[in-house]
Amino acid sequence: MTNNKPQHIVVIGAGLGGLSAAISLASEGFTVDLLEKNDKVGGKLNVLAKDGFTFDLGPSILTMPHIFRKLFERVGKNMADYVSIETVEPHWRNFFEDGSTLDLSSDPAVMKQELDKLGSDTARQFDEFLAYSKRLCDITEDGYFAHGLDSFWELLKHYGSVKSLQEFDVFRSMDQGVKRFIKNQKLVDVLNYFIKYVGSSPYDSPALMNLLPYIQFGYGLWYIKGGMYGMAQGLQKLALELGVNIQVNAEVVEIQHEGGRASAVRLADGRVLAADIVVSNMEVIPAYKNLMQGQEAEIRRVEKFAPSCSGLVLHLGVDTIYPQLAHHNFFYSDHPREHFKAIFHDHRLSEDPTIYLVAPCKSDPSQAPSGCEIIKILPHIPHLDPDKPLSADDYAAMRERVLIKLERMGLTDLRKHIVCEESWTPVDIQAKYYSNQGSIYGVVADRFKNLGFKNAQRSKVLKNLYFVGGSVNPGGGMPMVTLSGQLVRDKILADLAK
């Protein structure tokens, strides 16, 4: 980098994408201001201590730890000195309405034993599916992840032909891709629900999303000792060591610009910070709506990158232990197609939701008082829709429906054992994080709307404005938003070299 090139970068938002971008850019010699509107870094990776319970308010699963290690290794650091991780076994436990269960395990012998419950040929089918999942993962990592490809045309240029792009399997749905290999409906439902990582529907998402099972089985499923928020703390420590100026309670309310370039950001307290380059961890559409005027045409252009689903997030402290639970658990809908249709097409609350339930005390008893445990419950629900608004009473009724279902499926007297509770609705999520319509995972993966692509990282409005996080490629989830911060460094360096 030469002296006549831009030196000062302002990063808006200290979620994992913003932290990763700040670290990646500071390691290249840029001066970086990282501005966060809330009182701590981490974005949706958040934490709350209440009544002796420590609730991880955001992501609960760590995958692809090598993406995080690269941040540290690039500056000569060892991630283990900042963040301690451990594997989770089983990966998760699946509960069905007929009373049966199925564990997903990293141990092939245990996995085969579990799959044999579903039929003598099921393990072979699963092995064939996982080989298919690995092929999808390999081809995606080779180009889309490694080079930060941002559009269909960049993908075509990299891979050489439309025929080669067929290997991405984007013209089938995820569900259709699973059913090419798997006959047992319970296992179909389990593999379909890997779509939870990106908050979409297996009936709408391209079959490319079937790379998600291999990501989990190939790279493992991990927990951060002391709670998931430890990753945000580790990245914050690294950023400070690299000289990043982190400011919390510092909300950006405007990106100032002239001549097609960002020139400064204005904060809610009236301060104006000049910037040679701006990186926004605020999602693309909210950023254009909230931070810049007159961007209606650009907002219409990117409307195909619609928001993912949201969630009704219940953090419960209970005064008992449920020994049948693993660290991660899924309680399945008896009517999965209707469940996903309600969320993604009808924009209503499912009558029979599939429920993700996290019991982190199975790995880390210190998160709750003795004799107690944490039950985190997350059924997916629609993002905010002004044409079909949902009320507080609607969400309260959904909460009751979910708790009754869990009690019916084995968590006896759950409601009677709740001694501490914190709940979040899409309204809360939008207010806290300015996510697009209260979405949790950024942009929905939909083969009809966007082929599974997200927004590009480079702004088409301002030449020196870039985006990171779940609303841009490569997408949502802890590893992907962290990768986006590394990829934006590569794009900025490439653009400055022109």
Question: Could you read off the pLDDT of 232-270 as tens digits, one per residue?
Answer: 999 999 999 999 999 999 999 999 999 999 999 999 999
Start-end of H helices in 58-210: 65-73, 108-115, 122-140, 152-159, 162-165, 174-179, 185-192
* 158, pLDDT greater than 90: no
The four Cα atoms 222, 198, 340, 221 give a dihedral, to 10 degrees, of: -10
Angle between helix axes 108-115 and 122-140 (nearest 10 degrees) is 130
Higher pLDDT, 164 or 381: 381
Return the C-alpha torsion angle 99, 100, 105, 107, nearest 10: 140
Residue ranges of domains in the chain: 8-85+226-304+455-496
Query: Over 90: is that where the pLDDT of 164 sits?
Result: no
pLDDT at 498: 87
Cβ-proximal residues to 93 (8 Å cutoff; 6+ apart), any chain: 101, 102, 103, 104, 325, 326, 328, 329, 330
Residue range 481-491: mean pLDDT, rounded: 97
* pLDDT of amino acid 147: 86
Average predicted confidence (pLDDT) for the chain: 95
What confidence score (pLDDT) does residue 2 get? 42
- pLDDT at position 163: 62
Amino acid making up residue 330: F
Residues 216-237: pLDDT tens digits? 999 999 999 999 999 999 999 9
DSSP 441: S
Rg (CA), the chain: 22
β-pair partners for 104: 92
pLDDT in tens, 68-126: 999 999 999 999 999 999 999 999 999 999 999 999 999 999 999 999 999 999 999 99
- Here the tokens at position 359 are 């019991």
List, for residues 343-396, the tens digit of each pLDDT value: 999 999 999 999 999 999 999 999 999 999 999 999 999 999 999 999 999 999
Query: Following DSSP, what letter does each residue of 373-397 receive, concatenated?
Result: EEEEEEEEEPPP-TTS---HHHHHH
| The predicted structure's pLDDT at residue 162 | 61
Q: What is the H or E stretch that residue 313 is in? A: strand 313-318
Tabulate helix, strand, coil % of the chain (nearest 5).
40, 20, 40
Q: Which DSSP letter does residue 167 get? A: G
Number of residues in the chain: 498
Cα(334)–Cα(396) distance, integer angstroms: 22
Q: What is the pLDDT of residues 12-53, one digit of tens each?
A: 999 999 999 999 999 999 999 999 999 999 999 999 999 999
Instruction: Give long-range contacts, CB 8 A cutoff, 24+ apart: 86-90.
Output: 86/222, 86/223, 86/225, 86/363, 87/220, 87/221, 87/222, 87/223, 88/61, 88/221, 88/222, 88/223, 88/327, 88/328, 88/363, 90/326
- Count CB atoms within 10 A of the CB of residue 434: 18
Question: Which structure tokens are listed for 81?
Answer: 């000195």
Q: What is the pLDDT of residue 170?
A: 86
Is 3.50.50.60 the CATH classification of the domain at 8-85+226-304+455-496? yes
Half-sphere exposure of 368 (CA within 13 A, CB side): 27
Q: In the predicted model, is pLDDT for residue 4 greater than 90?
A: no
**pLDDT bracket for residue 1 (50, 70, 90):** very low
Count of Cβ atoms closer than 10 Å to residue 497 Cβ: 9
Contact 436, 247 (CB under 8 A): no
User: What is the pTM for the complete model shown?
Assistant: 0.95
The token duo for 401 is 């429906």
- Give the C-alpha separation, 8 to 31, whole Å: 5
Q: What does the pLDDT read at residue 155?
A: 83
What pLDDT was estimated at residue 166?
78
Residue 5 has pLDDT above 70, yes or no: no
With CA atoms as reference, report the closest residue to 95 among 199, 211, 193, 223: 193
- pLDDT at position 280 is 98
The tens digit of pLDDT for each residue in 394-444 reads 999 999 999 999 999 999 999 999 999 999 999 999 999 999 999 999 999
* Chain mean position to CA 336: 21
Strand order in the sheet with 245-247: 245-247, 31-35, 8-12, 277-280, 465-467
Please report the pLDDT score of residue 167 as a whole number: 84
Q: What does the alpha-carbon distance between residue 262 and residue 209 come to, in Å, rounded to a whole number? A: 35
pLDDT at 54 over 50: yes
What pLDDT does residue 6 have?
63
Adjacent-strand bridge partners of 458 = 466
> What is the pLDDT at residue 156?
82
Distance CA 155, CA 139 (A): 11
What tens digit of pLDDT does each residue of 172-189 get?
999 999 999 999 999 999
- Distance of alpha carbon 248 from alpha carbon 260, whole angstroms: 29
Report the alpha-carbon distance of residue 486 to residue 470 in Å, rounded. Answer: 14
pLDDT digits (tens, 9 = 90+) for 311-346: 999 999 999 999 999 999 999 999 999 999 999 999
Q: Is 253 left (phi over 0), alpha (psi -120 to 50) or beta?
A: alpha
Percent of the chain at pLDDT above 90? Answer: 92
